[in-house]
Amino acid sequence: MTLDQLCVGQQAKIVSVGGGGALRRRFLDMGLIPNTVVKVRKVAPLGDPIEIYLRGYELTLRLADARNIEITEI
């Protein structure tokens, strides 16, 4: 399962962060690493991007990029 499939209000644990280059590095730097618990807080009015909550802060990212983040239900 990937992060873009998570519904609003659902929690999950990150398994791996795919993709590459600067974006992947940014995700890792911002604490999206394996075993981190994330929760989807909101979806933008037009359905994309989404807002997630992790490590005490909120982050917004596009569904296309969320697709690179493998998660597992807790």
Partner 1 sequence: MAITFALIGNQNCGKTTLFNQLTGSNQHVGNFPGVTVEKKEGYLRNHKEITIVDLPGMYSLSPYSPEEVVTRDYLIFSPPDVLINIVDATSLERNLYLTLQLMELDLPMVVALNMMDEVKASGGTIDIKLMSELLGVPIVPISASKNQGLDELMRVAMVVAGQKNRPATRDFCVGDVHRAVHSISYIIEEEAKAARVPVRFAAIKIVEGDEPMTRLLNLREMETDIIGHIIEDMEKRLHMDRDAALADMCYQYIEKICAQVVIKENETREQIRSVKIDSVLTNRVFALPLFFAIMLLIFWLTFRVIGAFFSDLLSYGINAFVSGADVVLTNMGINPTVHSLLIDGVFAGVGSVLSFLPIIVVLFLFLSLLEDSGYMARVAFVMDQILLKIGLSGRSFVPMLIGFGCSVPAIMATRTLPSQRDRKMTILLTPFMSCSAKLPIYALFTAVFFPQHKTLVMMALYLMGMIVAIVVAFLLKKTIFKGPTVPFVMELPVYRMPALKTVLLHMWQKAKDFLTKAFTIIFVATVLIWFLQSFDLHFNLVSDSSKSMLAAVGRLVAPIFAPLGFGDWRASTALITGLTAKEAVISTFAVLLGASNGLSLPQMMAHLFTPLTAFSFLTFTLLYMPCVAAMAATKRELGGSLAALGAMLFQTGVAWVVAFIIYQVGRIWFV
- Contact between 1 and partner 1 per CB under 8 A: no
* Cα three-residue angle 56-25-35, rounded to 5 degrees: 50
The 3-state DSSP composition of the chain as helix, strand, coil percent (nearest 5) reads 20, 40, 40
Binding partner 1 (rule: CB under 8 A), the pick from 2, 15, 59, 70 is 59
Closest to partner 1 by CB, 5 vs 16, is: 16
Count of residues making up the chain: 74
Task: Report residue 60 as tokens.
Answer: 């917004």
- Contact between 46 and partner 1 per CB under 8 A: yes
Window 3-32: contact mask with partner 1 (x via CB under 8 A): -------------xx----xxxxxxxxxx-
Q: How far is CA 63 from the centre of its chain?
A: 9
* Binding interface with partner 1 (CB under 8 A): 16-17, 22-31, 33-34, 36, 41-49, 51, 55-62, 65
